[in-house]
């Protein structure tokens, strides 16, 4: 895993003005150093600059970037962030064309595949990636992103100069690129946030390359090609065949994602998702005579303050202990304190360049930093709920037919704290509804499906396109900020393609949520783990934490120069801060309730200050 950045202009002469552009490229690279602290490099040609920071996972000796190949005197150059899981297949296709390679680096194989087959070769690539290739012969820069957007790639433009980077901070290093929020950007943060529209970079004129797409940039302009999309198909396999095939696809995805020249570990919550990943990894390592290292997370004193609710029915630790005993793993229990996760709220914004999932992000960032001291690669159970239908909005009728994003059923909790003039100016409900309808239109329904099944298909699609993307963003930024590569086997293309079309009567047969995943994992896990009721990522229930946040927000807003204060309804906010919060009624997803609203406002305030954001209302 790495950080990439660069710029391209068909009318420039960058190499002739090296003294000016080389420091810019170096600053862009340095801004992403946390993503790859092991090595770095830059390349400056007449029309293109490329920068790279490297986290060494595969071919530690020969994988330095930017990497170049030459044919007939013309250079082809690549900067790449990701991992490829079907490298042998790609090599076979090159071998059939008598193309040879010099290293074991997947970077070289990607570059040679592009040079041999053209940009459409990416359709055959199985992995998580974002990369840029500059073709000097034709003066074309091509940007690529993986199917589900596991790896990020942002871009903006000044006249005919395209600027790109793994994170917005890289683009903001380029002279003339400013942090500006217009009404759309504010709606992304205040109405959709911490989610955002696919392809939206939130800052004005910032974009993120859509998952499953590549973009070509040349003297003739820019063109985006969609090489992958989810397709609705009738499911023809029997229930027994479905379970068997799902079992193969799950285990195959996990095994393929274990590729690494450095030791791997797993996150283990004691739920079925992370336990399946850990069980398969543990069994594979045992064959090599190695022991799997696992990590679990919790908060100090949570055993004292935890109260079960419909969203978080149980604590993880008892189930983690059972899985550790079952796996025989080298396990580490990690804890986060209230002050620590509050202090890291600002660093979470530093990692995202935006307000994010508040303390859900900051605590995970703490845990990832702890893991990064001993490991560079971790496999997680992320995305299983989006793919297999683990959330309540898949089966609760009122959520299925809500006609909006089910993880944000109402904007009322947000609007109540914002200035009336702002909410009226933003037209928040209309903005959300427009985005919702725009992406609902993308998915084709099947004629034989009834209204309930059609709604489930649409919600399944939105989960993968929207909600899963939010969690993938969280996983990438929190892990890569400490140079830890997180892999997500449940976001495997073959697995998602198959499971997306399994009918609900199979996915939840007998009323069992994620039934297919549980049945497909029989024999891998103890029964009590296999059928444990879903409990999401843990959070603190200590009332001291809420009071700590409220005090910090009051202090920040007491500053007359606070950029956030004019955007708020201060009487309503003060009343909100004075009253206890409901920990069981989220305003986003399943975890973000009252305390997270305070944390989100703290992040927004810090974001406006740090990035010197200009508002265009």
Q: Tell me how far apart the alpha carbons of residues 140 and 133 are, in angstroms, rounded to a whole number.
A: 8
Q: Rounded to an integer, what distance in angstroms lies between the CA atom of residue 145 and that of residue 160?
A: 22
Rounded Cα distance between 456 and 314, Å, is 27
Specify whether the CB–CB gap between 613 and 181 falls below 8 A. Answer: yes
Looking at 188-283, which runs of residues are DSSP E strands? Answer: 207-208, 213-218, 221-226, 264-267
The Cα–Cα gap between 275 and 379 comes to: 11
Q: How many CB atoms lie within 10 A of CB 610?
A: 13
Strand partners, 81: 130
Q: Strands 74-84 and 127-135, how do they pair?
A: antiparallel
Q: Please state the φ and ψ torsions of residue 236, each to the nearest 5 degrees.
A: -110, -10
d(CA 417, CA 601): 10
* Residues across the chain: 617
Query: Rounded to whole angstroms, how far apart are CA atoms 172 and 161?
Result: 14
How many of the other CB atoms lie within 10 Å of CB of 556? 16
Query: Do the beta carbons of residue 106 and residue 20 sit within 8 Å?
Result: no
Q: Which two tokens stand for residue 165?
A: 């980077």
User: Is residue 101 classed exposed, middle or buried when 0-12, 13-18 and 19+ CB atoms within 10 A define those classes?
Assistant: middle
Give bridge partners of residue 39 from the DSSP assignment. 54
User: What stretches of 312-427 show up as alpha helix (H) in DSSP?
Assistant: 317-327, 338-343, 345-352, 358-372, 384-388, 397-400, 412-415, 420-426
Start-end of H helices in 180-229: 183-187
Cα separation, 490 vs 221, whole angstroms: 36
Q: Which of 2, 171, 217, 383 is catalytic?
A: 2
Nearest to 349 by CA among 341, 340, 358: 358
Please provide residue 593's backbone torsions phi and psi, each rounded to the nearest 5 degrees.
Answer: -110, -150
Give which of 600, 406, 564, 380 is closest to 487, Cα–Cα.
Answer: 380
Which is nearest to 173 in space by CA: 7, 379, 363, 365? 7
Does residue 470 sit in helix, strand or coil? helix
Q: Which two tokens stand for residue 442?
A: 């993308």
Which residue in the block uniquely carries the two structure tokens 């799997």? 292
Is residue 141 within 8 A of residue 48, CB to CB? The reply is yes
Q: Is 560 exposed, middle or buried (0-12, 13-18, 19+ CB in 10 A)?
A: exposed
Strands 48-54 and 207-208, how do they pair?
Answer: unpaired
Q: How many CA within 13 A on the CB side of residue 350? A: 16
Angle at 335 between CA 330 and CA 340, to 5 degrees: 140
Could you tell me if 234 and 448 are in contact, meaning their C-beta atoms sit under 8 angstroms apart?
yes
SS3 assignment, position 587: coil
Instruction: Judge whether 2 counts as a catalytic residue.
Output: yes
Phi first, then psi, for residue 343 (nearest 5°) are -65, -35
- Known catalytic residues? 2
């Amino acid at each position: 895993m790495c950080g990439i950045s660069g710029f391209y202009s068909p009318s420039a002469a960058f190499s002739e003005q090296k003294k000016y552009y080389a420091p810019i490229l170096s600053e862009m690279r340095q801004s992403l150093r946390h993503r790859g602290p092991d090595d770095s490099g830059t390349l400056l040609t007449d029309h293109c600059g490329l920068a790279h920071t490297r986290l060494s996972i595969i071919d530690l000796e020969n994988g330095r970037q930017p990497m170049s190949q030459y044919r007939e005197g013309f250079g082809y150059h690549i900067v790449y962030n990701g991992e490829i899981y079907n490298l042998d297949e790609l090599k076979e296709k090159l071998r059939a064309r008598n193309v040879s390679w010099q290293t074991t680096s997947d970077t070289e194989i990607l570059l040679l595949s592009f040079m041999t087959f053209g940009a459409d070769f990416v359709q055959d690539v199985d992995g998580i990636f974002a990369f840029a290739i500059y073709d000097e012969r034709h003066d074309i820069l091509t940007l690529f992103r993986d199917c589900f957007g596991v790896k990020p790639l942002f871009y903006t433009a000044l006249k005919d100069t395209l600027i790109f980077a793994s994170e917005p901070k890289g683009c903001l290093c380029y002279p003339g690129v400013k942090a500006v929020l217009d009404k759309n950007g504010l709606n992304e943060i205040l109405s959709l946030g911490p989610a955002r529209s696919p392809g939206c970079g939130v800052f004005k004129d910032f974009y993120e390359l859509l998952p499953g797409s590549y973009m070509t940039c040349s003297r003739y302009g820019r063109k985006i090609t969609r090489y992958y999309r989810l397709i609705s198909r009738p499911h023809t396999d029997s229930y027994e065949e479905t379970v068997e095939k799902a079992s193969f696809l799950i285990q195959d995805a996990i095994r393929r994602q274990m590729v690494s020249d450095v030791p791997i570990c797993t996150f283990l919550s004691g739920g079925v998702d992370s336990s399946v990943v850990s069980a398969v990894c543990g069994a594979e390592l045992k064959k090599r005579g190695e022991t799997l290292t696992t990590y679990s997370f919790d908060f100090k004193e949570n055993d004292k303050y935890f109260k079960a609710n419909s969203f978080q029915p149980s604590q993880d630790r008892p189930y983690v202990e059972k899985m550790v005993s079952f796996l025989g793993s080298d396990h580490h229990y990690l804890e986060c304190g209230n002050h620590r996760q509050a202090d890291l709220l600002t660093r979470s914004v530093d990692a995202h360049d935006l307000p994010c999932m508040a303390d859900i992000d900051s605590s995970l960032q703490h845990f990832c930093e702890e893991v990064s001291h001993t490991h560079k690669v971790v496999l997680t159970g992320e995305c299983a709920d989006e793919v297999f239908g683990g959330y309540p909005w898949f089966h609760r009728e009122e959520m299925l037919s809500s006609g909006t994003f089910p993880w944000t059923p109402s904007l009322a909790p947000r609007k109540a704290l914002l200035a009336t003039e702002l909410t009226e100016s933003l037209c928040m409900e209309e903005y959300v509804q427009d985005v919702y309808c725009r992406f609902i239109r993308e998915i084709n329904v099947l004629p034989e499906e009834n209204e309930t099944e059609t709604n489930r298909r649409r919600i399944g699609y939105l989960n993968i396109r929207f909600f899963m993307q939010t969690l993938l963003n969280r996983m990438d930024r929190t892990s890569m900020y400490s140079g830890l590569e997180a892999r997500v086997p449940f976001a495997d293309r073959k697995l998602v393609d198959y499971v997306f079309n399994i009918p609900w009567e199979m996915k939840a047969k007998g009323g069992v949520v994620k039934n297919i995943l549980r049945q497909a994992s029989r024999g891998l896990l103890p029964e009590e783990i296999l059928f444990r009721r879903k409990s999401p990522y843990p959070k603190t229930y200590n009332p001291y934490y809420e009071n700590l946040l409220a005090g910090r927000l009051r202090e920040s807003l007491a500053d007359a120069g606070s950029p956030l204060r004019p955007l708020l309804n201060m009487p309503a906010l003060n009343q909100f801060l004075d009253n206890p919060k409901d920990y069981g009624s989220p305003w986003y997803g399943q975890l973000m309730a009252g305390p997270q609203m305070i944390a989100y406002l703290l992040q927004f305030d810090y974001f406006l200050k740090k990035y010197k954001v200009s508002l265009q209302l």
